[in-house]
Amino acid sequence: MGKKVCVLEQHYTAGGYTHAYWRKGFEWDVGVHYIGEVHKEYSTLRRIFDVISQGRLQWAEMDKVYDKICIGDEEFDFVAGKDNFIESLVANFPKERQAIEHYVELIRLISKQSSTFFAGQALPPMLAKLYNKIRPKLVHKAFFKTAREVLEEITSNQKLISVLCGQWGDYGMVPRDASFLIHALIAKHYLAGAAYPVGGASSIARAIIPTIENAGGHVFTMAKVEQVLIHNNKAYGVQLAGGHKLYADKIISNIGFMNTVNHIMPPSVKTQYGMDNWTNKVTRSSASICLYAGFNQDAQSLNLKKTNLWLYPNEHIEANVDAYRTGETSELPLTYISFPSVKDPDWDNRYPGKATVEIVSLASMDDYQDWFGTTWNDRGDSYLQLKEKLSQILLKSLFKREPQLEQALEFYELSTPLSTQFYQRNDGGEIYGVNHSVDRFKQSFLHPQTPIKNFYMTGSDVLTAGVGGALMGGVMTTMRMQGVFGMNKVKKLLKAGVSQ
């Protein structure tokens, strides 16, 4: 768009949750297991990725069965393609054909109408507020209900509801609490299958940085912003940790809403706008633990599949999560397993004879209070013991499903909410920004344009979580910055695709 951009990232590597990390001769992604639609050349997301990476980013399609939902000993396949998806579920629930077909039509409708629902994000805030008042007349009523409310209207079959919500870990809220909107957007996002970036998740940033640099911009890592510089309600720069000041015409925060308000807003500006009141109106999304495991044989010899596994002890999603959170049970309510090395066709060139697995489950920052104030790699024995205990639980689940992996295990390491806080600066260890409740989508302060002139927000909190959601958040902020009459310029650029 003719602008020079200076990206300031506090981590030692760029990319946010799309970064990868390396340890003991292995590489793992931390927040990208699969992305929908990008393997379809003409999809909106693919076009945007093509434009911002100038065609450098390549995608590898996963298996037709992109997700396998395992409830107790039963398995349910999510198969790429609308009709395949329906037929696979109908085979498991023969009496529920009508409900399954209705559900698929509804998530497609919600996805289609989401541009109408989110149109206010590209408008000036005052207009957006007015628009959002008439919005309920323009879109389906399911936009304003929880996932469970809508699904209970479609079917009374509780197991089917649990299967349809089997990907709830992708948005981190149980169906009772999550908006149907986020449920539908995620389910539809993957309906045509999913893909993984060739070269691993870090190739996303690697492919985009040259575009920024070719336009005269820069990307700096280990560059923590401490405060936005504001004078007379106008942002004019940022102050970095260490005191260095940088000046710019426009400042855009991509560090999340909570971090923006709590970490980089001058206290006087926070008070002026009552921003604490804003942060009290939303909640942080779930935290997680993740086990990163490395194996000393390649994925083919280990017979690994490009299918994600979602393991549930039984069909009672909410009851299991509640019981785990209150300490009534220690059984994990959800275990998610991903096999990144087999998804990446370039893996064997970089790491011959090796394979990786990632296992994610729920966690709560409250359980880590004993170690508040300690720092990474120096939290003491009790922390290491807890990590080891959790690692063994996750490994046990893995080996129960894939026993051939046990003899090839070479390395494992567990991340906790404290790791997320340390590396990402998210105080609650949250992995999806602000929680995706029905109320979240009514909050006018989650908007690209802030009340401070020349200061904008972007990323997942101005739209939805997920790499696709964050990317579209970027598009919305760009549109807002171009103004009502400049929006078409953005649309044209994206429509033209990589030839631009």
Ligand X SMILES: Cc1cc2nc3c(=O)[nH]c(=O)nc-3n(C[C@H](O)[C@H](O)[C@H](O)COP(=O)(O)OP(=O)(O)OC[C@H]3O[C@@H](n4cnc5c(N)ncnc54)[C@H](O)[C@@H]3O)c2cc1C
Chain residues binding ligand X by CB under 6 A are 8-11, 16-18, 31-35, 224-225, 254-256, 259, 263-264, 288, 290, 360, 424-425, 431-432, 459-460, 465-468, 470
**To 5 degrees, how large is the angle CA 286–CA 313–CA 86?**
85
Closest approach, Cβ 441 to ligand X, in A, equals 16
Closest approach, Cβ 403 to ligand X, in A, equals 25
Residue 23 CA to residue 19 CA, distance in Å, equals: 14
Comparing CB distances to ligand X, the nearer of 159 and 270 is: 270
Spatial CA neighbour of 186 closest among 18, 61, 382, 35: 35
**How are beta strands 234-240 and 251-253 bridged, if at all?**
unpaired
Residue 309 CA to residue 387 CA, distance in Å, equals: 22
Comparing CB distances to ligand X, the nearer of 261 and 355 is: 261
Closest approach, Cβ 221 to ligand X, in A, equals 9
Residue 447 CA to residue 120 CA, distance in Å, equals: 8
- Contact criterion met (CB below 8 Å) for 298 and 348: yes
State which amino acid sits at residue 435: N
- Contact criterion met (CB below 8 Å) for 459 and 137: no
Instruction: List phi, psi (to 5°) of 443.
Output: -85, 120
Comparing CB distances to ligand X, the nearer of 100 and 178 is: 178
Comparing CB distances to ligand X, the nearer of 17 and 144 is: 17
Comparing CB distances to ligand X, the nearer of 162 and 254 is: 254
- Other CB atoms within a 10 A radius of the CB of residue 364 amount to 15
Comparing CB distances to ligand X, the nearer of 162 and 416 is: 416
Closest approach, Cβ 17 to ligand X, in A, equals 3
Closest approach, Cβ 392 to ligand X, in A, equals 20
Q: What is the DSSP string of 157-187?
A: -HHHHHHHTTTGGGTTS-TTTSBHHHHHHHH
Spatial CA neighbour of 404 closest among 360, 461, 355, 464: 355
Closest approach, Cβ 49 to ligand X, in A, equals 12
Closest approach, Cβ 409 to ligand X, in A, equals 21
Closest approach, Cβ 54 to ligand X, in A, equals 20
Closest approach, Cβ 88 to ligand X, in A, equals 21
- Three-state SS for 359? strand
Comparing CB distances to ligand X, the nearer of 123 and 228 is: 228
Residue nearest to ligand X (CB): 16
Residue 353 CA to residue 93 CA, distance in Å, equals: 41
Residue 35 CA to residue 195 CA, distance in Å, equals: 5
**472 forms bridges with which residues in the sheet?**
none
Comparing CB distances to ligand X, the nearer of 101 and 413 is: 413
Spatial CA neighbour of 421 closest among 360, 368, 359: 368
Comparing CB distances to ligand X, the nearer of 34 and 456 is: 34
Closest approach, Cβ 301 to ligand X, in A, equals 25
333 alpha carbon, distance to own chain's centre: 20
Comparing CB distances to ligand X, the nearer of 66 and 103 is: 66
